[in-house]
Amino acid sequence: MTTAELLDAALVEEATKKSGLIWVRGASGTERALWHVWHEGAAVVVGDGPGEQPFPDLVDGGPATVTVRSKDKGGRLVGWRATAVPLDPGTQEWEAAVGELKGKRLNAPDAETMPQRWARECRVLRLEPVRGAQVLPAPEGDLAAPPLPSSATTRDAVPAGLPRLLGRRKKS
């Protein structure tokens, strides 16, 4: 590898490790925010099962484009191309990846049996950086998009009196 490729690989790894959320675009072109873990040279994600994040457009062995955001500012840090590699339950790779994912999964209703549920009902994918042209140039224009519909919403309507309460707090 050339020096530039090594620097690009280091940038991809460090930025992705520090970010708790990545934006992934699969075969259909739809971008989706996914929580992940950086493990052994790739971003590892779990989903496509009940109660987990959906990523239906990530095809096993197919291409993906990953955009990494800044953890503190939320803006785009780096983009890179990846290959979605499925991990088969029960393999040593799967066990190691799930061990890392389990520690990062928040608010799981079944923390003790979560790996067994993932093996039965979910997919675990490694988003492996493609060698060569890893770092993508920043796209032009505004990248803002409305959130995709999901059953995973937890936000209710703002209570009617909340703005008044917050306004009082600022004045005192």
Does residue 29 carry a pLDDT above 90?
no
Would strands 123-129 and 37-39 be described as parallel, antiparallel, or unpaired? unpaired
Predicted local distance difference test score (pLDDT) of residue 136: 73
Please name every residue paired with 63 in a beta bridge, in sequence order, or none if there are none: 83
Using pLDDT thresholds of 50, 70 and 90, give the confidence band for residue 134. low
How far apart, in whole angstroms, are the C-alpha atoms of residue 18 and residue 147? 23
Q: What average pLDDT does the structure give for the chain?
A: 85
Q: Are 79 and 135 in contact (CB under 8 A)?
A: yes
Amino acid (one-letter) located at 27: A
Hunting for tokens 């209570």 — which residue is that?
A: 159
**DSSP label at 87?**
-
How much is the pLDDT for 84?
Answer: 95
- Quote the pLDDT of residue 110: 84
Q: Please give the domain boundaries of the chain with CATH numbers for all domains.
A: 3-171 (2.30.110.10)
> Could you tell me if 31 and 25 are in contact, meaning their C-beta atoms sit under 8 angstroms apart?
yes
Q: What is the pLDDT of residues 82-117, one digit of tens each?
A: 999 999 999 999 999 999 999 888 888 787 899 999
Residue 25 pLDDT greater than 80, yes or no: yes
Mean pLDDT, rounded, for 47-54: 88
**Closest listed residue to residue 66, CA positions, set 35, 40, 95, 107:** 35
* 61 alpha carbon, distance to own chain's centre: 17
